[in-house]
């Protein structure tokens, strides 16, 4: 009788250990996936921010060149209109 109880307890212990290992593996996989996704999102945000900064600098440069290319009278007229608005 004691041998049967011991065998059942041993089998139960093995099942518990197996389930604990499976839960640990699943938890680790989810944690790694979450971390990888967060790093990918941060990298994508940094890329978007850099592209926006480049786009802003490019537009600023184009506007600056456009203003410098205008005749003085046209530049003053546009500046007056801009200041009124």
Residues 49, 57 contacting (CB under 8 angstroms): no
**What tokens appear for 35 in the block?**
């971390």
pLDDT exceeds cutoff 90 at 84: no
Query: How many domains would you assign to the chain?
Result: 1
Quote the domain boundaries for residue 31. Answer: 2-84
Helix (H), strand (E) at residue 67: helix 2-69
Which tens digit of pLDDT belongs to each residue from 17-76? Answer: 888 899 999 999 999 999 999 999 999 999 999 999 999 999 999 999 998 999 999 989
């Amino acid at each position: 009788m004691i041998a049967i109880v011991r065998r059942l307890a041993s089998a139960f212990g093995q099942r518990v250990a197996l389930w604990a290992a499976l839960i640990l593996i699943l938890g680790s996989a989810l944690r790694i996936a979450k971390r990888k996704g967060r790093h990918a999102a941060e990298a994508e945000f940094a890329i978007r921010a850099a592209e926006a900064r480049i786009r802003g600098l490019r537009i600023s440069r184009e506007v600056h060149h456009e203003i410098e290319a205008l005749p003085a009278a046209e530049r003053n007229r546009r500046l007056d209109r801009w200041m009124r608005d």
